[in-house]
Structure 1
């Protein structure tokens, strides 16, 4: 790997070259990102997990670029065409597009019209007419007639000469670069409905005649238009000259071609032919190439943005506050098939199950209350978790009435059941509960995800959790890679109890493979709980390298060594021992002793192996061993009597929880089976460019109802509680900047349904919702 790669990554991340070199060396040595971020701060000078993930991604791209560079250099050299100037250009190429442009003239390809003409000896004519417009094309062409090669008349000869130049222009890297820069700044993306598809594609109606500057198309609109094209509703094209008079027959890009080759088209004998060459080269060769490339780039950027949105929301969901080890009763609501009930103890172990029918059409309220209260008393239930799918509010009302009648005060929480049915039917659930009906497994998952969202959600494919934006329109491999990294970072940030963790959770620990995780569980089942971390080295297939990577993230609670329950890595235990020896304090006496630990100076115990950052982390961990980085547990309280969309009235102030954050706003569960949208313009009184500056998934917020569309179940909300429905509510600062180009676009207004637990559509991933935003905008304008 060349030094330039280090320098480029360092520049992009705004860090020093030495930090990048150190991180790359660690990654190449098989170290994981969580391990490097947490336990190798001295080596990387404090690069965090986000920086390391970005570094890892760019490193992969640039290495692929370097590999491709070497293949191209070798190929051109073998052809005997590698000049010093070309070699320099190839070595300087910093993108794959630029590299492929340079290689285009030398790439092996099928015989083209231009090549056939060259083989027939017509190339001298092409260059002669191009460089000497005073020559008469017809007269000159007669000298190149070659019937055997297919050039029996002057028209065929001139067409062949034109094809030669067209292909050469289309392979001129410098010319392509100039045109690309022009298009990137000036071209528009055009969307048009395919004739006859108006009714079938009504959900894309805002794009039936849509023009937008290519560089200004946000990711959600781009993906919506690409989806419309894929479904055969929309036709997308590139308009290179949006400012040009409609009567004009040429493109500004043709002027770029003329300027590049320093020619002027006038009235010389060959100028008409030369103008054809320029026009055909642009329209037939270069435009098609550029349209494919630029739309591909737009799609790639849009997909990356959508993947980032999903990753950010997933992280917020996984890092949501756990209710903790409390006996919990989970209810998976239902109507005709009844509500499935499961009780788990404070460790998540299944204790009991039942099926009740408190809602329509059965309405067995009394019998259902008797069953549930019996389970509550039998198992001393401390929490009740209700899934937020079909019949959730009816079930919530039933539980509230039951507890009131019984005089019980048990906290009831509405829990997202996204992905619960996916887990229920999985091999993992079958192995965990082989004799339990599939429908009851969902209730177990709902109860457990209230106790510890992270521990339960890791059992589900992240893509099935459904907090994304157009998740099915993006590269599934890239999405899976990014989401897996998020899950890994979250799991390792929290830490895992090795004596209670499932194999699914252990698999996400740095350094552990699926096989190692299964072996840990099998070893634990056979030999009993782990008494200390170093016993992990006895687990089959778990060698010293894997132990180094995972040990700091695995906790042994109440074990032989008190440090085993902390995030202090075993390799750093000697540091703690030195502190103990020097101060005369036993390790047990140091843990949690804030006053003492504040008096210890990290610099006095730093050395060449463990620097000040690591010693500082050790002292912080000793002060609060095993601390959980997740926030304090709290839930939204839904308003009594507001159970359906029809119960909402403009002006109501309600409490809710953020379920999904997108580029254009945030969706809020206010307890009516349908999330409402707080548009980005209504999130704050000040200007914001990203909704995540204000909210994240799981936040409990107060919102005001601005508009309700009963027919389409669309709810417009505002977090600016001074806003009045029907008023022109502008942000207090920077005018109305938050509403600039973000309004009146269907994808910005599309809204996730309160979906059943198997919904993996990614929330706002549809192209629906134009009317909702119209209603939202209207409510703000009135």
Structure 2
């Protein structure tokens, strides 16, 4: 199969769909544009399928390029046979390709090469093909200036055979897969590192099958190894196996080369496996484990990030952002309904009356409706102060919400923040970010490095380029799914729009500042360096409210305006009278407007957009009400039922912010009364949930929660100890309490609570 056919088979779609998508992407189209506006060409491939296609396309093209390099190298050596060329052509992964290339790959001068130069290849062939009980006698015929004795001759012959055995591609592939299927990772604490490595205590003596090791445990063990706390090895046979006993792997090597009971050859096989092949395959296995763990962790991170970016905005209301602090005070920033900074102040908790007066003055002066409180140090005390404001100013109709301040300090110290607020103190910039992320999380969080938002596992341990690429794709998809108002969007937000980049985004903002608001999409073509091709990619995702053309405020692409014009002519009404008019839209027959370019999928999208123009795919804004008097972990009591916000979702469960500075963990087995394969089937980041407190460990800052509110701590239904609970089908469970939970993409991830607690975020 060619690349197109292979990807089509992997995605279970037709080759024509894949080829159409490949052609569009190669022509410079973006994934959001193709997914939204080229459904006819691709047969409706969605953004997830297109992302997978793009990644596989890059991998397979790199593989093809590498094949050509390998073929050329072997051919130049005069060693390319039709059989070898066919094997290389049929290879579908880089590892197998490198196995085939290994015998021909230029390498440093090895013992085997030196032995061949000394004329010992015939001896090696003789000993392999005609085993002798007296190899020393056979070696005597090969002595010379460079081979002084029989030991040197046999050592050289053995080196040749060991290299030959270790470079047999089909054999190495078979051994690799057997090792991956059967081997165990064995982690042990390095002597004397017990105290220093307390956080890795769960892995001080840990054994687990490598192929089923969950990503969070794999990354934890590998981090422990990198920090010098754990010694990590791969075990392929029981520890008590005598060293002289031949392993299954050695038997496979011996059988492959038809080696019988000849002791010298069996010793050669043993040395080949233990000193050469196993060491290489062990490294391969750990690399494979790391890659799989990286992919899994990055997937979890990307899903959480998507949920956070698509969290419902509080809306365009004047907002006060409070960045809590004891010694340095509460940093206060007030932004108007468009997010523009209009005032700042600093209030001190130890001067409560002055603080209340300062905040009340700002609220009255600027018509503040929302108070956003960062969830860092002193957040509970600041929340209490805000509560007094809400009660003391009933006429203001205030609402206070505690929001995550993850990444706010990163933004505050960034070059972007410095350009945006050159005269503003760094600490006050954080308060601005907190206020804006309540108004519109997506618009504000795009300014922050996704890795700093704090919704992933071991983000500093995974492949950084792969992580960045994945998170950038998530941000791009989220921004384009929502769309942006071109007349108020910041440059970082605009830069995420399909077809745009940092330079074009800055040019749009500069043109807007100099010439005023855009009154039509076509006016974007006046922006320097923004041509027709870019306009095609970006226009559908850019909104212009109150402009000359009503459709410019919708997701209808300008290229489809003639279709809408025909609909308007047939109905004898204007665009403004059709948009949002459900009765009129129902009168339109979609099939009457299909063309070769615009098929039924696009027409249906147009009608849906006309019915609900600029609909926001984000949900309805909701907040959690933290319990009064529960401010610290020491205030928690077993059995308490509390409301909280899901701050992070991992494969082993969900972390919930219940307002005590330390998130609690709902293990996967405690999320629902039904079997849960993936926690995201039940919850996502930002959800408001009710939980019951099962266990509290203030010393270790650990809180065990359950969403099955009829669970009794210590009862059989709670399995007495969270670490002993198992998540399996058929287990009777109480009911979790969460509004509007929906099934989501499934992903394996069952683990023990003890392991989950080991990863509890600080």
Specify if TM > 0.5: yes
Alignment counterpart, residue 361 of structure 2, candidates 362, 374, 387: 374
- Alignment-derived partner of residue 214 in structure 1: 210
Structure 1 position 230 matched with structure 2 position 226:
yes
Compute the TM-score of the two structures, normalised by the length of structure 2: 0.95
- CA deviations over 1:223-262 (Å, ceiling 9, x no partner): 1111111111212222122497457633210001012122
Alignment counterpart, residue 299 of structure 2, candidates 308, 331, 336: 308
Alignment counterpart, residue 172 of structure 2, candidates 173, 176, 181: 176
| 1:318 positional shift | 0.4
| 1:308 positional shift | 0.8
Pick which of 674-683 and 201-210 moved more.
201-210
Which whole-Å CA distance do the structure 1 matches of 2:221 and 2:24 have between them? 42
Which whole-Å CA distance do the structure 2 matches of 1:424 and 1:205 have between them? 36
* Residue ranges of structure 2 left out of the alignment (5+ in a row): 719-726, 734-746
- Alignment-derived partner of residue 708 in structure 2: 720
- Alignment-derived partner of residue 120 in structure 1: 118
Alignment counterpart, residue 743 of structure 1, candidates 747, 752, 760: 752
3-state DSSP of counterpart to 1:592: coil
| 1:335 positional shift | 0.4
Structure 1 position 398 matched with structure 2 position 385:
yes
| 1:17 positional shift | 1.1
Q: Measured at CA, do residues 736 and 251 of structure 1 come closer, stay the same or move farther in structure 2, by a change above 3 Å? A: farther
| 1:445 positional shift | 0.8
Map 1:384-423 to 2 at 5 A. Answer: 384-408=371-395, 409-423=397-411
Q: Measured at CA, do residues 59 and 432 of structure 1 come closer, stay the same or move farther in structure 2, by a change above 3 Å? A: same
- CA deviations over 1:523-556 (Å, ceiling 9, x no partner): 0011000000000001001011110000000001
**Equivalent pair of 1:224/1:747 in contact (CA under 8 Å):** no
3-state DSSP of counterpart to 1:473: coil
Q: Measured at CA, do residues 247 and 85 of structure 1 come closer, stay the same or move farther in structure 2, by a change above 3 Å? A: closer
* Residue ranges of structure 1 left out of the alignment (5+ in a row): 266-270, 754-782
Compute the TM-score of the two structures, normalised by the length of structure 1: 0.93
| 1:15 positional shift | 1.3
Map 1:312-331 to 2 at 5 A. Answer: 312-331=303-322
Map 1:452-467 to 2 at 5 A. Answer: 452-467=440-455
| 1:748 positional shift | 5.3
- CA deviations over 1:275-314 (Å, ceiling 9, x no partner): 1110011011100110111110110010111111111111
Which whole-Å CA distance do the structure 2 matches of 1:214 and 1:402 have between them? 56
**Equivalent pair of 1:323/1:450 in contact (CA under 8 Å):** yes
Structure 1 position 338 matched with structure 2 position 334:
no
- Alignment-derived partner of residue 762 in structure 1: none
Q: CA RMSD in A?
A: 1.6
- Alignment-derived partner of residue 775 in structure 1: none
3-state DSSP of counterpart to 2:194: coil
- Alignment-derived partner of residue 564 in structure 1: 552
Structure 1 position 701 matched with structure 2 position 663:
no
**Equivalent pair of 2:186/2:232 in contact (CA under 8 Å):** yes
- Alignment-derived partner of residue 298 in structure 1: 289
Structure 1 position 729 matched with structure 2 position 717:
yes
**Equivalent pair of 1:680/1:739 in contact (CA under 8 Å):** no
- Alignment-derived partner of residue 151 in structure 2: 155
Which whole-Å CA distance do the structure 1 matches of 2:265 and 2:225 have between them? 36
Which whole-Å CA distance do the structure 2 matches of 1:592 and 1:704 have between them? 44
Alignment counterpart, residue 644 of structure 1, candidates 629, 632, 646: 632
Alignment counterpart, residue 268 of structure 2, candidates 277, 292, 295: 277
Structure 1 position 38 matched with structure 2 position 36:
yes
| 1:725 positional shift | 0.6
- Alignment-derived partner of residue 248 in structure 2: 252
3-state DSSP of counterpart to 1:292: helix
Alignment counterpart, residue 261 of structure 1, candidates 240, 257, 262: 257
**Equivalent pair of 2:297/2:456 in contact (CA under 8 Å):** yes
Which whole-Å CA distance do the structure 1 matches of 2:676 and 2:631 have between them? 32
Which whole-Å CA distance do the structure 2 matches of 1:208 and 1:306 have between them? 23
- Alignment-derived partner of residue 5 in structure 2: 7
Which whole-Å CA distance do the structure 2 matches of 1:568 and 1:303 have between them? 38
- Alignment-derived partner of residue 66 in structure 2: 68
Which whole-Å CA distance do the structure 1 matches of 2:308 and 2:269 have between them? 56
| 1:745 positional shift | 4.7
Q: Measured at CA, do residues 114 and 733 of structure 1 come closer, stay the same or move farther in structure 2, by a change above 3 Å? A: closer
**Larger relative contact order (Cα-Cα within 8 Å, sequence gap ≥ 6):** 1
**Equivalent pair of 1:170/1:286 in contact (CA under 8 Å):** yes
3-state DSSP of counterpart to 2:716: coil
